């Protein structure tokens, strides 16, 4: 009886160890484009996780004050998924890709060289909840009383 309990415990420990090793292996494997969960990623990395992608999309939506249908086409009623995320039909989706490239370029090519604090621009920097960024009001004209006295 005792040898059966020892054998069962050893088997359970081996099984647990193998399961943990398999989970660790899966965490370290990169998602390949042809096997990945997402289709038609052209700017975002193919190895992006589901949670990272959702957080990124929610950040875009907040920054522009929009919802998914701003860039993504809705599927017909009764479809398994509400949106056809892979379709490039809407011009806003390509514009979003161009904006992502622009922000990356600004951050890596310019700000990284002159900003020791490491601050980056992001969608919210300009958009602030609007699909088209609003320009600040023009400066008030300076009148004669605001000019420095002549010496």
The boundaries of the domain holding residue 88 are 50-127
The CATH code of the domain that includes 102 is: 1.10.468.10
pLDDT of residue 16: 47
Query: Each residue's pLDDT tens digit in the chain (151 positions)?
Result: 566 555 545 544 454 454 545 556 554 544 444 456 789 999 999 999 999 999 999 999 999 999 999 999 999 999 999 999 999 999 999 999 999 999 999 999 988 888 878 889 999 999 999 999 999 888 888 766 656 666 6
Report the pLDDT value the prediction gives residue 116, as an integer from 0 to 100: 77
Coil, helix or strand at residue 139? coil
Looking at residue 86, its pLDDT comes to 94
CA distances in angstroms from 122 to 33, 34, 81, listed in the order given: 26, 29, 29
Q: Does 63 reside within a domain?
A: yes
How far apart CA 92 and CA 96 sit, in angstroms, is: 6
What's the confidence (pLDDT) of residue 91? 97
* 55 occurs within a structural domain: yes
Q: What's the structural domain count of the chain?
A: 1
pLDDT at 1: 57
Q: Judge whether 44 lies within some domain.
A: no
State how far the Cα of 75 lies from the Cα of 71, in Å rounded to an integer.
13
CA–CA distance, 40 with 48 (Å, rounded to integer): 13
Q: Are the CB atoms for 133 and 126 separated by under 8 Å?
A: yes
pLDDT of res. 15: 44
Q: Is residue 137 part of a domain?
A: no
CB neighbourhood size of 64 (10 A): 22
Rounded to the nearest 5°, which phi and psi values hold at 8? -65, -45
Tell me if 37 is assigned to some domain: no
pLDDT at res. 31: 44
Taking CA atoms, 53 is separated from 1, 33, 41, 44, 122, in Å, by 53, 15, 10, 8, 16
Residue 65 included in any domain: yes
In a domain? residue 144: no
pTM here is 0.65
Q: Does 88 fall in a domain?
A: yes
Contact 135, 126 (CB under 8 A): no
Q: In the numeric block, which tokens belong to residue 1?
A: 């009886």
């Amino acid at each position: 009886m005792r040898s059966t309990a020892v054998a069962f415990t050893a088997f359970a420990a081996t099984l647990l160890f193998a399961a943990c090793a398999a989970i660790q292996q899966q965490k370290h494997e990169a998602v390949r484009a042809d096997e990945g969960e997402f289709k038609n990623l052209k700017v975002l990395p193919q190895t992006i996780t589901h949670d990272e992608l959702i957080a990124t999309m929610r950040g875009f939506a907040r920054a522009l004050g929009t919802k998914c249908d701003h860039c993504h086409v809705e599927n017909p009623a009764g479809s398994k998924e509400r949106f056809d995320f892979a379709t490039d039909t809407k011009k806003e989706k390509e514009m979003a890709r161009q904006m992502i490239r622009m922000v990356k370029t600004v951050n890596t090519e310019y700000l990284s060289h002159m900003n020791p604090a490491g601050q980056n621009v992001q969608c919210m920097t300009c958009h602030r909840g609007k699909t088209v960024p609003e320009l600040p009001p023009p400066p008030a004209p300076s009148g004669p009383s605001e000019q420095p006295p002549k010496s």
